[in-house]
Structure formats: structure tokens, C-alpha cells
Amino acid sequence: MVSGNKQTTHMSNTIFLGIVIDNSLSWKLHMEQIIPKLSADCYAIRSVKPYISHETMKMVYFSYLQSSMMYGLIFWGNSSYSVKIFGYKRI
């Protein structure tokens, strides 16, 4: 696209403050970014579970998993792809 004497390009997605926003607002790309991180966090928690107390386990959960799941939830939480994270279907 040309605007005056400047050329602009169309981008299909962008990352803003760690949230992947695509041009259709489907949130699929954002979910594809979050899922591997959550998987790695689950592995880390399972690995340390035998060695730490229940209270420490809760701190690890809240600092890793919950913070990753909740970041930007107000934007992408209502998408159809959120079932991949939370495991429930909207009614």
C-alpha cells in the first residue's frame, strides 16, 4: 500500500506486550504461543513435586502456570481457542 510518498505494508499479526494479535482477532496464534510455555511449566512442576512442600508447590503454580494463563485473559479468554488452555467449552 502506498500512502503519499511512503510505502506501508500489511502485517498479518503483531505482538503487543506479549500478546499475539492477528488481523482476524481469532487468538489462534496467541494460543499456539502459550501452550508450549504451559507444557514446559507443567513439566517443571512435575519434576520438583517430590522434593518440595505443598505450600512451595502452590507458590510455583501461581508464579508459573496461573500467571501465564491469566495474562491478557480479558482479551483472549472468550475466544473459541481458550478451550485448549482451560479444557471447557462455552455454552
pLDDT (tens digit per residue) in 15-49 = 888 888 887 778 888 888 888 988 898 898 889 89
Residue 27, Cβ density class (10 Å: 0-12 exposed, 13-18 middle, ≥19 buried): buried
39, 32 Cβ separation under 8 angstroms: no
pTM of the model: 0.69
Enclosing domain of residue 11: 2-86
What's the structural domain count of the chain? Answer: 1
The more confidently predicted of residues 78 and 34 is 34
The answer to whether residue 44 sits within a structural domain is yes
Q: Give Cα separations from 65 to 7, 17, 44, 52 (angstroms).
A: 42, 18, 10, 17
Q: What confidence category does residue 3 fall into, taking pLDDT thresholds of 50, 70 and 90?
A: low
The answer to whether residue 63 sits within a structural domain is yes
The answer to whether residue 91 sits within a structural domain is no
